[in-house]
Structure 1
Amino acid sequence: MKIYDVEGFPNPARVRIALAEKGAMDQVEFFTVDVMGGEHRTEAFKARNPDATVPYAELPCGTSISQCTAITEYIDGHFDGPSLIGDTPTQRAKTQMMNLRAESGLVDAVGAYFHHATPGLGPDLETNQNADWGEMQKLRAVSTMRYLDSVLAEAEYLAGDQFSVADITAFAGLGFADFAKVEIPSDLSNLKAWREKVSARPSVSG
């Protein structure tokens, strides 16, 4: 399996944490994409990944997979170890629901703020910016943080009692928020405690 990404970016981090949770980092080759140089927007790159995003995966059979949720679905099913999505239909549905909420409300919202309402990755890459839209998405990200805090008041992890891809996505989203200077409100004690707990996991700290 090959992963094309940029280490340290939020979505690549989601895939790398999932691989580490499965103990599969040594079974994957990583290739760095020159995002700052616009490699992801070249025709050669888009021929393999029309989304023009990182990460994307090339499976041993030659199939290309993009979108983090799809890649982590493959990782969860292909490699040994406890499932990051769930073993029952109910648990899998709940995990995917929370994963999508964390993705759209936090990762994507912070991304929209970063790319539209700040200098982002610079003028060569940040075109067609809409600052008002970006500021609205910043508010959405903070609202999502409050929602996640309320969920964590009732559960150990975002989808219940077990660590899952929903936690991975939210954790990466908070890291992106730090980078974009979107602060976690000081009163969200449940979210902050959960973040400290996840930070101590070997897949994150190692």
Structure 2
Amino acid sequence: MIKVFDIEGFPNPARVRIALAEKGALDQVEFVPVDVMAGEHRTDAFKARNPDATVPYIELEDGSCISQCTAITEYIDGTFEGPNLIGKTPRERARIHMMNLRAEAGLVDAVGAYFHHATPGLGPDLETYQNAEWGEKEKEVALKTMRYLDSVLATDPYLAGDEFSMADITAFAGLAFADFANIETPANLTNLKAWRKKMAARPSFTN
């Protein structure tokens, strides 16, 4: 059985859990909690398995490990039955990956930089270096990305076209992280707000 090393409530672990839920595979993996607040992800033992020192990562039955949410989602998509999340044709896959990267860099990562640099973040024991100016600049990136995604959703039902994909998962997780970091979605982004409400109604987002 695949092992998923993560912590509940964090944005990137949420992305993997949603992907598994979309595939109906939550009960086909073993979740292993990581004590991030105690710095477990920075120990030598952890980094020997995942040099990124991040959650989530997965351990396969042969003992090999895969980290990075996009890579994990690709593995999940190809391993379990259920709706396709990464695209079927070269065109679909390229567009989904493009939008996923934009949502990841512009929302998840940008909000993360703001949270870890311009707020107390996870506390002084874990936030050993902070650059508040950089954090504030990344907050601007997050807001710019929200406006861009709103423009995409003015013509498309989902971020990468007509079908739900991992790009939608990533953007939803990024917006949830923005809520947590007190970065409010501008009220005039009505397309983004409507899309988010539609996403929240999917069973996979409530697991």
For the aligned pair, the TM-score class normalised by the smaller chain equals: over 0.9
Q: Aligned residues: percent identity?
A: 76
Provide the TM-score with structure 2 as the length reference.
0.99
Q: State the SS of the aligned residue for 1:65.
A: strand
CA distance in 2 between partners of 1:134 and 1:193 (Å): 28
Q: Which amino acid aligns with 2:160?
A: A
Where in structure 2 are the equivalents of 1:46-195 lying within 5 Å?
A: 46-195=47-196
Q: What are structure 2's unaligned runs of at least 5 residues?
A: none
Give 1:38's aligned residue.
39
TM-aligned CA deviation for residue 63 of structure 1: 1.3
Q: State the SS of the aligned residue for 1:62.
A: coil
TM-aligned CA deviation for residue 205 of structure 1: 2.1
CA distance in 2 between partners of 1:157 and 1:62 (Å): 36
Q: What are structure 1's unaligned runs of at least 5 residues?
A: none
TM-aligned CA deviation for residue 82 of structure 1: 1.8
CA distance in 2 between partners of 1:127 and 1:189 (Å): 38
CA distance in 1 between partners of 2:77 and 2:61 (Å): 16
Give 1:4's aligned residue.
5
Q: How much is the aligned-residue C-alpha RMSD, in angstroms? A: 0.5
Q: Which amino acid aligns with 2:169?
A: I
Deviations 1:147-196 (A, max 9, x none): 00000001000000110000000000000000000000010000000000
Q: Where in structure 1 do 4 or more consecutive aligned residues deviate above 3 Å?
A: none
CA distance in 2 between partners of 1:23 and 1:63 (Å): 23
Q: State the SS of the aligned residue for 1:128.
A: coil
CA distance in 1 between partners of 2:206 and 2:52 (Å): 30
CA distance in 1 between partners of 2:62 and 2:75 (Å): 13
Provide the TM-score with structure 1 as the length reference.
0.99
CA distance in 1 between partners of 2:38 and 2:139 (Å): 27
CA distance in 1 between partners of 2:203 and 2:197 (Å): 13
CA distance in 2 between partners of 1:30 and 1:86 (Å): 26
Deviations 1:94-147 (A, max 9, x none): 000000000000000000000000000000000110000000000000000000
